[in-house]
């Protein structure tokens, strides 16, 4: 996502778009699932940040109340000090939770993108119908360079389809590093989406 897309999503969420731009954005939102996911993520992050701001305001109000009552009572309860400690710990836990969720969300999304690209690229019926073991053997002992390169390509796609991302990335890197390979550009495209 580039800066312009991010700013457009922010303007949409803050109701700063004109009516025509809003309708255009909502139409794009209906079509583009990645845009839907990004808007949903932005909304959740905004809600989380608002919750943190409210919590900070509550802490500030509590501090003001304590300082106003301090000259009158002159007794400090340990419970109030512990409350601050527990609220700080809760804030840290919330921040870690949001961070973990964001990282986990991106990892799942990358796996789904890899699987979608693998499905999209597996169009050759001849290779799609071959058993995986035969395809691996063909990639090692193919009589021609183009046949071997096709077999290597489809082995990488099968790894993606099976969810073996590390093996697929190794195979795709090998293909992408060979500029003479028939599928060099496609391998680079898949590696860029990671």
Q: Residues 85-123: pLDDT tens digits? A: 888 888 899 888 888 887 777 666 666 666 666 665 554
Domain limits for position 146: 76-194
Residue 116 sits at the vertex; the CA angle it makes with 113 and 118, to the nearest 5 degrees, is: 110
Looking at the structure, tell me whether residues 86 and 147 fall in a common domain: yes
| Domain termination residue (choose one: 53, 75, 97) | 75
> Which token pair is 99?
């961070």
Q: Can you tell me the distance from the alpha carbon of 43 to that of 10, in angstroms, rounded to the nearest whole number?
A: 9
Q: Can you tell me the distance from the alpha carbon of 3 to that of 9, in angstroms, rounded to the nearest whole number?
A: 10
> Quick check: pTM over 0.85?
no
| pLDDT at 80 (0 to 100) | 61
Looking at the structure, tell me whether residues 130 and 172 fall in a common domain: yes
Looking at the structure, tell me whether residues 93 and 175 fall in a common domain: yes
Looking at the structure, tell me whether residues 152 and 121 fall in a common domain: yes
Give average pLDDT by consecutive 10-residue segment, the chain, 194 residues. Answer: 80 86 89 87 84 83 77 56 80 87 69 64 50 54 75 84 86 91 89 79
């Amino acid at each position: 996502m580039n800066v312009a897309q991010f700013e457009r999503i922010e303007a949409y969420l803050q109701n700063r778009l004109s009516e025509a731009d809003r309708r255009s954005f909502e139409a794009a939102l209906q079509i583009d699932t990645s845009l839907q996911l990004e808007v949903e993520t932005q909304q959740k992050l905004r809600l989380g940040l608002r919750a943190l701001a409210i919590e900070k305001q509550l802490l500030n109000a509590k501090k003001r109340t304590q300082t106003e009552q301090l000259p009158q009572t002159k007794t400090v309860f340990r419970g109030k000090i512990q409350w601050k400690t527990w609220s700080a710990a809760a804030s840290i836990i919330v921040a870690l939770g949001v961070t973990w969720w964001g990282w986990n969300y991106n990892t799942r999304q990358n796996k789904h993108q890899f699987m979608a690209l693998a499905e999209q690229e597996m169009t050759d019926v001849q290779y799609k119908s071959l058993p995986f073991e035969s395809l691996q053997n063909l990639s090692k002992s193919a009589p021609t360079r183009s046949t071997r390169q096709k077999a290597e390509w489809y082995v990488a796609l099968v790894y993606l389809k099976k969810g073996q991302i590390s093996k697929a990335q190794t195979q795709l890197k090998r293909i992408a590093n060979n500029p003479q390979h028939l599928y060099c550009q496609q391998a680079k495209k898949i590696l860029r989406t990671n």
